[in-house]
Structure formats: C-alpha cells, structure tokens
Amino acid sequence: MPTVRANGMTIAFDAFGSEDAEPILLVSGLGVQMIRWASPFCERLAALGYRVIRFDNRDVGLSTHLDDAPVIEMAALAQALARGERLNLPYTLKDMAADAVGLLDALGIERAHIVGRSMGGMIAQVIAAEHPRRTLSMASIMSSTGNPELPPPSPEAMSALTRRAPDPARDEPGYLDHCVATARVIASPGFGFDEHAYRAQALAELKRAYNPAGFSRQIAAMITAGDRRARLNTIIAPTLVAHGADDTLIPVAGGRDTAASIKDAKLMVIEGMGHDLPIELHETFALAIAANARRAAA
C-alpha cells in the first residue's frame, strides 16, 4: 500500500485509472477505512475517464494513528458541550481537510474533484470552502452542515453508532456480529441487506487495521465542528448534494440544508436509501459524480 507524508501525517492511499486523467479524491466517513469505497465503484468512476484516489483519514486504516492523543469519551464530551466549555481536541475537521490537500500536494495534483460521504462529506465541504483553488467540483453525500436546528439521528441509529463493540482480540465473532447489527440499523430499507457482504467487509477492515480510539477522536472532531453554513455560502465549485430519503443517522434535512447553503448546488434525494451506499446505487452515484464534474469543465 503506497503512503505519502502530508500535513505531518503518513497517509495511505491507492488509485484507479490513468494518471493523466482528471483526479477525483474520495474522502471516507467516520471511523471508516478507504476500502469502504468499494473497488468496483472506484473502477466504474475510473472507466468514466477519471483518476480515482481513495485514502485513509488520519487515525484510521493504514494512515497515522495518533496513539499518544487522549481517547475521547462520548459522555464527557457531551457534558462539556452542554456546559459550553471550549475543548482542546487532538485535531479538527480542518486538520483532516488539510491532510487531504497535503495528499494532493504530495501527488503533484493542483486541483481535484472532491467527493466525501458522511463525515467525509463534511471534510469535502471544508476543502471546497477553505481551499477553493484546489477544488474542481465537490460532492457531499449523506452529510450535513452542522446547523444545530436540524433534526438529530434517530435514537436507534445513535445507539448503534456509539454502542461499545466487543474486543475482537477476545471475541472476533461477537465483534463481527456487532458490526453487522450496526450496519443493519442504518442500512437502506429500499434495497436488500446482504449480511454476508457486510460481515466480509467488517472482517476485511478488521484484518487491515483496528483503532477504536481513532473513532472516538474523529467523532469528537465531527461533533465540535460547528455550523458551517456561512462558509458553505462561499463555495464556488460546482456542487452535488446526494442524500438518502430514509437516512436515520444523518436525516435528509441535513442534505437539503447543505444544498440550500451552496449556490447552484444540485440536490439528489434517493428514495429507499439510508446511510450506506448499496451496490445497486453504484452506477447512479458514479454517473451523478461524473455529471457534476463535467459542470466544472463547462
């Protein structure tokens, strides 16, 4: 697995397609390794004429794990936020966005199409707002604006996301059961749930890398990122906002708010889609991302 040094981090990445093609940078979500952007999906995007780059965010996968940084406990974080305290966190979404831009620097890429899902969508928004000259186009998928007035996750989805998993070193089957149960809660109700595929994905990610402390630090960066709407208003890159109508983790109102906050953003709401990217929608998303990328050329 190739790596580069970017923004003080070691960033693991891989790429699909011709190095001469326009680049698409895929930004992963909370605690999710780059292989969650499935290889067939990346290959489909590459077949549409792009160089597709996926990478591990800091604190996950094969990129730098900040092992010396504190583990962030959700209960303590919630209490501090309720008291209005300023928190000294190991890093922010802006730091993670700078990692992505640093990866582009290391690869000699001046500008790229930025595509992010979930927390990765928030990072993509930050890149497009803070680094407009590096952003050809932007796609924010199943993400939100940080607007505090938006509806929260459903209690079931939040419980699934934050429930402590068994230690896989002691109970690997129990850990995989936990991963599948979590995926089932937030999965797309309009498409089939392939338990075998989800279990295989969870096992592949476990064997590749395991860093639960990184998840806690990433969720702290996401929760404390604040309201981005004022910055989103400054984005000039052609923007696609895609969201599932049946997303219980980040309700579709988050996608609508994102599109409303970015000039000329195209909103795509998909019936039956939850907080995942079913294989049945790979073609739909590949074509939509490519169409948005062509808006930059126009």
For the chain, which residues make up each domain, given as ranges?
Answer: 3-297
The answer on pLDDT for 77 being more than 90 is: no
Reported confidence tier of residue 162, pLDDT bands at 50, 70, 90: confident
The confidence score (pLDDT) of residue 94 equals 97
- Tokens coding 175: 């850990």
The confidence score (pLDDT) of residue 80 equals 67
- CA-CA distance, 102 to 267, in Å (whole number)? 29
pLDDT (tens digit, 9 = 90+) per residue, 168-196? Answer: 999 999 999 999 999 999 999 999 999 99
What is the overall mean pLDDT for the chain? Answer: 95
Average pLDDT on 68-87 reads 73
The confidence score (pLDDT) of residue 240 equals 98
Query: Shortest CA distance to 246 belongs to which of 217, 224, 276?
Result: 276
> What are the phi and psi torsion angles at 36 (to 5°)?
-65, -25
The stretches of the chain forming alpha helices (DSSP H) are 39-47, 74-82, 93-106, 119-130, 155-162, 172-186, 195-208, 212-223, 229-232, 252-261, 282-297
Average pLDDT on 153-177 reads 94
Place of tokens 């990328």: 293
Prediction pTM value: 0.95
Fold of 3-297: Rossmann fold (3.40.50)
- CA-CA distance, 175 to 277, in Å (whole number)? 22
The confidence score (pLDDT) of residue 82 equals 66
